[in-house]
Structure 1
Amino acid sequence: MFIAMNRFKVKLGSEADFEQVWRARDSHLSTVPGFKKFDLLRGPQRDDHTLYASHTIWGSRTDFEAWTKSEAFRAAHKNAGGNKPLYVGHPEVELFEAVDLGTAEKAA
């Protein structure tokens, strides 16, 4: 399993607009081999922004890298530059390889 996250610092007062952009987008992810799951997460509010993270789960790093080189990726990101006024700074990408996959049984 491989997880790709983007952290977004969304300007205070722009949260609803940011969330609407994500709800209205055509991500094309459902057509991509190896894609497992997407979540948009809202985190803590700071002095000048609210933290968000987009969180995608992939079968492997290879699956994720193929997505970033695909036509579906280009189509999903073609209008991303128009959202810059919503952000403080640039999104930060974080990539994770699964090391130990916990289960409900382990947690009990």
Structure 2
Amino acid sequence: MYVVHNRIEVTPEQAASFEETFSASMRATLAGVPGLRRSLLMRPTQPGHPYVSTMEFDSADDFRAWMKSDSFKAAHANADAPGMQAPSAIEIFDVLEDFSA
């Protein structure tokens, strides 16, 4: 499995509109993406911490294909959407162990 985290710094004033816009975009653009296992948007529990968007793909190739897809283009089409101009940091991981209780 290939996991991508995007840490997105959103101001408190933009938080509600960011959550609504980002969640709607996920629902509209991610259904049927080949190799995508799941996508999460996580709200920070402490002030000043970033939101985290996590995507789990079957492989790095699936992730790279998504980045070239119409789905990716649609998800990132509105540069004025809340949070789209926010500083972010991408982290990419290969999963070594996946334990479910």
Normalised by the length of structure 2, the TM-score is 0.84
2:80 aligned with 1:82: yes
Q: CA RMSD in A?
A: 2.0
Pair 28,57 (structure 1): closer, same or farther in 2 beyond 3 Å = same
1:14 to 2:14 alignment? yes
Mapped to 2, the partners of 1:70 and 1:89 lie a distance apart of 23
Larger CA Rg, structure 1 vs 2: 1
Letter in 1 for 2:64: E
Match of 2:2 in 1: 2
Alignment deviations for residues 35-83 of structure 1 (CA, whole Å, 9 cap, x no partner): 110110011212xxx420111111111111110011221122111x213
Secondary structure of residue in 2 paired with 1:45: coil
CA contact (8 A) 1:9 1:88 kept: no
Segments of 4+ in structure 1 off by > 2 A?
Answer: 86-89
The letter for the 2-side match of 1:92 is A
- How far apart are the structure 1 equivalents of 2:65 and 2:97? 24
Question: More helix per residue: 1 or 2?
Answer: 1
Structure 1 gap segments, 5+ residues each: none
